[in-house]
A and B are shown apart, each in its own frame.
Chain A
Amino acid sequence: MDRPICLIECFGGLRVRRGEEIIADEVGSATRARLPHRVSLLLACLALRSGEPLPREVIAERLWPDQPPGLSRNSLSTTLSLLRRHLSALDPLLPTPDGLFIANRDQIGLDRSLVTTDVGQFEALLNTAREATNRKGAASPAARAALLAQALSQYQGDLLPGFYEDWIDSERERLLGRYREALRHQALAWEAAGDFEATLRAAEKAIDTDPLNEDAYRLLFRALIALQRPAAALTAYSRMEAVFKSELGIAPPESLQQIAQQLRTPSAIPTVSAPVPISPTPTPKSTAISEVALPIDIDLSAYDEPVGGALPLDSPYYITRPLDNRFFAALKRRDSIVLLKGARQAGKTSLLARGMQFARASGARVALTDFEATGDAALASTDSLFLFLAVLLADQLELDDDPLADWSPERGPAMNLERFVQRKVLHRDLPPLVWGLDNVDYLFGYPFANEVFALFRSWHNRRSLDPSGAWSRLTLAIAYATEAHLFITDLNQSPFNVGTRLTLSDLDTAELTELYRRRGALLGDSDTVQSLFALVGGQPYLAQRGLEEIARRESEQRGAGAELLNRLENDAISEDGIFGDHLRRLRRSLERDDRLLNVVRGLLRGVPIPAEDDLYRLRSAGVVIGDTIATARFRCTLYARYFARYLAVSSPASV
């Protein structure tokens, strides 16, 4: 049997992947095809069958419930050939020209030797986990929990959000039910394994998807008690009380009330017995995963440094930070402008992508513009940029209107864009729009940056005047790294001093610990976290890369975590070491700028940064951290050591 060459994902939105790369989805971009709605429906229809062929009549009836059968059969053939064309990026990999589909006069199906689906994997993994539980003594609780975690990681969001067909609705409900059940089982398994932090997380997630789930609360309280965090348990209890009251108008069930009573009696806490003995730093067995044979080979450690800085949406290693929720809250409030600022590689792009997903799930339309990937043609002039933005919106939002049809040279580019956005994009019959703008700093160098920003600002002001007009249906989520005031002549004619402002910082030790735990099934002692933190600070990429490497080496049985880290530290600053590519890139970009290079060399000798501008530029490049010249320092020890070796004054120029 041939290896599958592509993955169709239906959880959290429809996507077709080749490896890590998305080649088609509902949004589309320069590098991926946008699937029109009807084509998406056909693909969903086939994907949800896990490859079982479906009679053409059944498919046609689902796609065109209102059309006479003869007509819809024709439409189906056309739609199938459209679908093939949208997936043509896969053609070179296909063994036969028939493509991914097995289609004949009567039925259509997916070729299961070439295609897998996330729904299929999710269910297969859950079935394996269930068998592992039922088979007597087959798997340890930790292994079972790990297996469930793999299944759960497939579930990236509700099934096909934005599709309202009956046959999708019922499937969505069924899969959500399985997901909730699996979360509860996972919490139980972690509890049985004695890992209460993990129990806590699983229980929280279970409550998150079902805020009235008594079993999940019970697990949550038991975990908090086992972790000796009675205050947190009490807080959790009162919040639960509020949820029960507001949702059902009743008090929580009596069994839960008894727990609260125990909590309120301080002396009672230590005597509440957890199902298994408390271990102060639960350390999952390092061999947990290898105890069971996995039915589908999922490479948990696959993670390359993303060029644009984003973790895949489904990455199990994405850490949700409090800032994420503030971002989502702003999107949910439909704020006019949300600013996301953070140094290079602080996770802006990842967060923006998650925000877009959240916004879509909450009923908004979304569009995304990455100015770094915009291309020179669009940035040739004010007119080309504004036209590009209009075309991009029309395309991503699948509008039938052609912006060019009403683009008048007499009106000027900004007013043309404004007119198109107000009349067509924000039409009152359409849902609100969240427009993500990534790498906005890239515009700062262009003479027309001020014009773009003044236009955005005026939209914000327009909305102040008319809180229910067209402009109230627009949220701009703007991600950037640089101090805007260095480039913008007047911030009051820009979006940069209004709206909700969020600043991303590096991971702290608690978050690094959490990341470490997610690699946890493979890792040794937790001193490793502290040592790694000392080396790379909370720089998200370096932290991810370091943990991945430790996990990889350990799985190859080459020693314990701390010892590995020792070795890692020794070759960390080598350009052949694991951070080599990243460090080289950083060095090259510094070497292109004589002034900053000298500032860095000075900093190595203890000379303070000479000017605020230099501080801001080094900070946005992600090289230093600190609010003032006096407190500025290298972002992590690794950088300081690497620069000391490679950028010392006598160092030869770049290779």
Chain B
Amino acid sequence: MNAIFDFIEEQPPFYIAGGALPVNAPCYVPRAADEALFRHLTQGTFCYIFDTRQVGKSSLMVRTARRLRAAGHPTAVADPTAIGRNPTPLQWYNGLLSQIGAQFDDGGETEDALFAAWQSTAARPPAERFFHALHQTFASTPGVTLFIDEIDATRSLPFPTDDFFAGIRTLRDLAPSPNFCLLGVATPTDLIADPARSPFPLGQRIELSDFSLADISVHLNPPAPDRFPETILQRVLHWTDGHPYLTQRLLLALYESPARERPTTATVDRLCDTLFLNPSAREIEDNLAFVRNRLLHGYHDLPAVLTLFRQISEGAHIPANPTDPLHTALQLIGIAKPDASGHLTPRNRIYLQTILPLCHEVG
């Protein structure tokens, strides 16, 4: 069936670009957020990680969930996008509950308990049934942690979800009860407007930083004989400034390129051009497609966002202000971050070169 010398034993590459990294992936880069999130969750603090796509939210979630389990905290991960585009409230809450229940490896005991509690309140509204089932089932189990990924999916549901977020806040007061960690591309006020019912003012925001040169040298350089020299890593950073996905992607391309054994900074530049900078790459590379799509079609004032981006790329000193919706919009699109002195700056040269022309085109 196969030619003999193509032994079918191809190893997966060291790098993984795209998707949550498996818990055993060698290319995971631990950051300050890892310890912060783990600490807050073990203390029972409601946490949320709101950031742009492909900066390591889900990978961090997966790892933290494993650590929590290992530390004796029963943990489950739910993904509302898997429940469907157009569910009824009943199907949505039931779906979340069933995703949560399926992850307790106890022969279905927890799942059965959850659904027994769910069935016992059939006359109540679905949100109430959901939180009742959680409270009832886990009343004698301290330390249960529930991650909800892709939480911004609630924005496109055909029914209001204020009750969901308000329920998280209410559940907090009924200790012992499960704690939540929410992840997504959103701001708290996108998800629930009423500050009196919102859980976010009482929660802990976890921030993700881009990778440093030290991070990359230690965690993103494959073992010998495939190690890259420091100059190469520096050149990668020159382009990505440590953006988690772009850095993995560029290193993966380098790792798979014929020039892997003796790459030069020119090799890095050439790959960066092929992958990200030339016009057709902008269409094919899905990170750039996402950024562009979010920029052009997000829920924000487009001309104002473009003007702000142009100003910071021209070196304007604008202190980053987390309460300014334009600043938040730029950060959720993923193209800006605060620099060392707290001023807003383009996130890296790749975004600078691919987004700036758009400012001139559209603006």
A interface with B by C-beta (< 8 Å): 157, 204-205, 207-208, 211, 235-236, 239, 320, 322, 324-326, 328-330, 332-333, 335, 354, 357-358, 382, 410-415, 418-419, 422, 447-448, 450-451, 454-455, 457-467, 469, 483, 485, 490-493, 496-500, 612, 627-629
Check B20 for interface membership: any CB of A closer than 8 A: yes
Q: Which A residues touch B279, using CB under 8 A?
A: 628
Tell me the residues in window 59-99 of chain B with beta carbons closer than 8 Å to chain A beta carbons: 59, 62, 65-66, 77, 79, 81-88, 90-92, 94-95, 98-99
Alpha-carbon separation in the docked complex, A493 to B83 (Å): 12
- 28 CB contacts below 8 A, A to B, read A157-B1, A204-B3, A204-B5, A207-B4, A208-B1, A236-B5, A328-B2, A332-B8, A333-B10, A382-B85, A411-B91, A412-B91, A412-B94, A415-B84, A415-B94, A415-B99, A418-B99, A418-B102, A422-B102, A451-B84, A461-B20, A462-B77, A464-B22, A464-B58, A466-B103, A492-B54, A493-B150, A498-B18
Q: 9 nearest interchain CB pairs?
A: A498-B19, A412-B91, A329-B10, A458-B82, A628-B280, A454-B81, A464-B20, A325-B6, A208-B4
Q: Is B91 in contact with A454, judged by CB distance below 8 angstroms? A: no
Chain B, interface SS category = loop
A497 and B8 contact, CB distance less than 8 A: no
Q: Is the CB of B81 within 8 A of A412?
A: no
CB–CB A415/B53 < 8 A: no
A194 and B91 CA atoms in complex are apart in Å by: 71
Instruction: Tell which of A415, A448, A493 touches B95, judged by Cβ atoms closer than 8 Å.
Output: A415
Chain B residues near A324 (CB, 8 Å)?
A: 2
B29 to chain A, nearest CB (A): 15
Does B1 contact A455, Cβ atoms closer than 8 Å?
no
Residues of B within 8 A of A (CB): 1-6, 8-10, 12, 18-24, 53-54, 58-59, 62, 65-66, 77, 79, 81-88, 90-92, 94-95, 98-99, 102-103, 105, 149-150, 153, 278-280, 283-284, 286, 289-290
A612→B283 contact, CB < 8 A: yes
Contact A419–B22 (Cβ < 8 Å): no
The answer to whether B8 and A490 have CB atoms under 8 Å apart is no
| CB-based nearest B residue for A484 | B286
Instruction: Please pick, from A325, A410, A412, the residue contacting B2 in the complex, using a CB distance under 8 A.
Output: A325
Chain A contact surface mostly? helix
Instruction: Please measure, in the bound complex, the distance between the C-alpha atom of A330 and the C-alpha atom of B3, giving whole angstroms.
Output: 16
Q: Is A418 in contact with B3, judged by CB distance below 8 angstroms?
A: no
A501 to B105, CA, bound (A): 32
- Residues of B close to A493: CB separation below 8 A: 81, 150, 153
Contact A491 B289, beta carbon cutoff 8 Å:
yes
- Residue from A239, A464, A628 in contact with B19 in the complex, judged by beta carbons closer than 8 Å: A464
Contact B98 A485 (CB under 8 A): no
Contact present for A325 and B81 (CB under 8 Å) = no
B83 touches A457 (CB 8 A): no
- Which residues of B have CB within 8 Å of A461? 19-20, 58, 62, 77, 79, 149
Taken together as a complex, chains A and B put the C-alpha atoms of A21 and B94 apart, in Å, by 46
Query: A450's contact among B2, B12, B85, by CB below 8 Å, is which?
Result: B85
Q: How far is the CB of A532 from chain B (nearest CB, A)?
A: 24
In the complex, A325→B2 CA distance in Å? 7
With a CB–CB cut-off of 8 A, which chain A residues contact B4? 204-205, 207-208, 211
With both chains docked as a complex, state the minimum distance between the C-beta of B143 and any C-beta of chain A, in angstroms.
Answer: 18
Residue of A nearest to B282 (CB): A612
| A458 close to B81 (CB less than 8 A) | yes
Residue of B nearest to A205 (CB): B4
Contact yes or no, B95 A465, CB < 8 A: no
Residue of B10, B86, B92, B94 contacting most chain A CB atoms (<10 Å):
B10
Given A411-B95, A465-B77, is A612 in contact with B10 using a C-beta cutoff of 8 Å? no
Give the residues in chain B near A460, CB-CB below 8 Å. 19-20
Extra pairs beyond A204-B4, A461-B149 (20, CB < 8 Å):
A211-B4, A325-B6, A326-B10, A335-B12, A354-B1, A412-B83, A419-B102, A458-B82, A459-B82, A461-B77, A464-B19, A464-B20, A465-B66, A469-B105, A490-B290, A491-B286, A492-B53, A492-B286, A496-B286, A498-B19
Question: How far apart sit A448 and B83, CA to CA, in the bound complex (Å)?
Answer: 12
Cα of A447 to Cα of B84 in the assembled complex, Å = 11
Considering the chains assembled together, what is the distance between the CA atoms of A203 and B255 in angstroms?
33
Most buried by B among A211, A322, A419, A490: A490
With both beta carbons as reference points, the residue of chain B lying nearest to A631 in the complex is identified as: B280
Residue of A205, A354, A485, A497 most packed against chain B (CB within 10 A): A497
Report chain B residues within 8 Å CB of A462.
77
A residues near B278, Cβ cutoff 8 Å: 628
Question: Please, which residues of chain A bring their CB within 8 A of the CB of B283?
Answer: 485, 612
A71: shortest Cβ distance to chain B, in Å? 36
Asked if A612 contacts B280 (CB within 8 A), the reply is: yes
Contacting residues, chain B, for A358 (C-beta < 8 A): 1
The answer to whether B85 touches A448 (Cβ under 8 A) is: yes
Neighbour of B22 across the interface among A205, A412, A467, CB < 8 A: A467
Residues from chain B with Cβ under 8 Å of A455 in the complex:
82
Residues of A within 8 A of B284 (CB): 483
Shortest C-beta distance, B152 to chain A (Å), equals 10
In the docked arrangement, what's the CA distance between A375 and B253, Å? 40
Q: Which residue of B lies closest to A236 (CB)?
A: B5
Contact at B3–A320, with CB atoms within 8 Å? yes
Q: Shortest CB–CB separation between residue B136 and chain A, in angstroms?
A: 18
Return chain B residues, CB-CB under 8 Å to A498: 18-19
Most B-side CB within 10 Å, residue of A335, A466, A500: A466
- Chain B residues whose CB sits within 8 angstroms of the CB of A382 once the complex forms: 84-86
Of B18, B95, B102, which contacts A414 at CB under 8 A? Answer: B95
Most buried by B among A459, A496, A498: A498
Distance of A418 Cα from B22 Cα, bound (Å): 20
